[in-house]
């Protein structure tokens, strides 16, 4: 057992005859952003599927805030906030209806939910869009609403699967900054991305490639172990990827 907010040990997963993850293990501590960096197809989404129980965990162990996912089942998801790679808001409902839906699913009393919804939207400057249909929002605003939703129950751990893909640079920067602020206030954040410029110097880094963890640790440690001067260089060395992909 570990003190980490989220602990993964020796996780392997297969799709039919193809191995997607092989002995993956790392920890996500509270109060920091852990960046799960890997090219497309590295196994990031599979890993998120396992953590969120959308895929069955057959080998390895996932411990969420001290509770084994295998033993506790769905109850282990209680302290987890999740932002999926694919948008999951209901386009026909308003922002408030989407958020209230989630709050009710999580059993948050209505008056508490209303306060948190107002606060969350205010934080992203979306208070005036609360009664707009999600369909009317742009991609960046939708992503922000999803982050508000994922944090409505004040989770100890927030996991995000490439939430900034397809967004413009200012929006990406704003979202990344917001997540670091949340981490600074004590939340454990696991952030999957293939966009190297989203890694901050004080982040923890887990480099995943072809289903295997190639490196793990503070950014400085990973750079040192890869004998690289920048994250982009380290990433290229560790994943043998084309430099252009790491944008």
Partner 1 sequence: MTGVTGASVARYWSAFRAVLTRETLRFIKQRGRFFAALVRPLIWLVVFAAGFRAALGLSIIPPYQTYITYEVYIVPGLIGMIQLFNGMQSSLSMVYDREMGSMRVLLTTPLPRSYLLACKIAAGAVVSLFQVYAFLAIAALFGITFSPAGYIAALPVLVLTGLMLGAIGLFLSSQIRQLENFAGVMNFVIFPAFFLSSALYPIWKMRESSDVLATICGLNPFTHAVEAVRFALYLEMAPLSLAVVAGVLVAAGGLTVIGYDPGRGLRTRQGPEA
Which among 7, 23, 9 is positioned nearest to 212, based on CA atoms?
23
According to CB under 8 A, which one of 12, 29, 30, 53 is a site residue for partner 1? 53
The string of DSSP codes covering 130-149 is TTSBGGGS-HHHHHHHHHHH
- Cα separation, 157 vs 169, in Å, equals 25
Q: Are strands 6-15 and 18-28 parallel, antiparallel or unpaired?
A: antiparallel
- The least CB distance from residue 117 to partner 1, in Å, is 14
Q: Which region, judged by CB under 8 A, interacts with partner 1, from 4-12, 21-29, 103-111, 177-185? A: 103-111
**Residue 52 touching partner 1 (CB under 8 A):** yes
Pick 142 or 182: Cβ nearer partner 1 = 142
Q: ∠ at Cα 194 (189, 199), nearest 5°?
A: 50
Other C-beta atoms closer than 10 Å to the C-beta of 222 total: 24
**Residue 145 touching partner 1 (CB under 8 A):** no
**Residue 75 touching partner 1 (CB under 8 A):** yes
**Residue 237 touching partner 1 (CB under 8 A):** no
**Residue 188 touching partner 1 (CB under 8 A):** no
Residues contacting 127, CB < 8 A, separation 6+: 118, 121
Residue 138 φ then ψ, to 5°: -80, 175
**Residue 86 touching partner 1 (CB under 8 A):** yes
According to CB under 8 A, which one of 6, 21, 63, 80 is a site residue for partner 1? 80
**Residue 85 touching partner 1 (CB under 8 A):** yes
Which among 83, 60, 64 is positioned nearest to 72, based on CA atoms?
64
According to CB under 8 A, which one of 106, 123, 173, 180 is a site residue for partner 1? 106
Pick 97 or 225: Cβ nearer partner 1 = 97
According to CB under 8 A, which one of 26, 28, 33, 102 is a site residue for partner 1? 102
**Residue 244 touching partner 1 (CB under 8 A):** no
**Residue 117 touching partner 1 (CB under 8 A):** no
- The least CB distance from residue 1 to partner 1, in Å, is 21
**Residue 181 touching partner 1 (CB under 8 A):** no
Two structure tokens written together for 42: 């590295």
Pair 145, 98: CB distance under 8 Å? yes
- The least CB distance from residue 201 to partner 1, in Å, is 28
Q: Which region, judged by CB under 8 A, interacts with partner 1, from 51-59, 164-172, 194-202, 231-239? A: 51-59
Pair 60, 22: CB distance under 8 Å? no
**Cα distances (Å, whole numbers) of residue 83 to 143, 179, 226, 239:** 9, 12, 30, 25
Give the chain's radius of gyration (CA, Å).
Answer: 18
Applying CB under 8 A, the residues found at the interface with partner 1 are 15-16, 18, 20, 40-41, 43-46, 49, 52-56, 73-78, 80, 82, 84-90, 92-93, 97, 100-108, 149
């Amino acid at each position: 057992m570990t003190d980490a907010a989220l602990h993964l040990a020796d996780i392997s997963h297969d799709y039919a005859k193809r191995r997607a993850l092989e002995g993956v293990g790392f920890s996500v501590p509270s109060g920091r952003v852990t960046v799960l960096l890997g090219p497309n197809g590295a196994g990031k989404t599979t890993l998120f599927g396992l953590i969120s129980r959308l895929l069955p965990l057959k080998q390895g162990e996932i411990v969420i805030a001290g509770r084994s996912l295998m033993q506790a089942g769905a109850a282990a998801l209680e302290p987890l906030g999740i932002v999926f790679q694919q948008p999951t808001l209901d386009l026909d409902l308003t922002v408030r209806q989407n958020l209230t839906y989630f709050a009710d699913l999580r059993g948050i009393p209505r008056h508490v939910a209303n306060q948190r919804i107002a606060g969350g939207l205010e934080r992203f400057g979306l208070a005036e869009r609360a009664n707009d249909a999600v369909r009317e929002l742009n991609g960046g605003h939708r992503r922000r609403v999803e982050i508000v939703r994922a944090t409505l129950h004040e989770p100890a751990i927030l996991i995000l699967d490439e939430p900034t893909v397809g967004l413009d640079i200012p929006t990406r920067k704003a979202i990344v900054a917001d997540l670091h602020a949340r981490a600074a206030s004590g939340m454990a954040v696991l952030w999957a991305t293939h966009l190297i410029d989203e890694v901050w110097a004080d982040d923890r880094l887990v480099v995943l490639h072809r289903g295997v963890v190639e490196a793990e640790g503070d950014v400085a440690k990973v750079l040192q172990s890869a004998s690289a001067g920048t994250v982009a260089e380290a990433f290229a060395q560790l994943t043998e990827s084309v430099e252009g992909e790491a944008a």
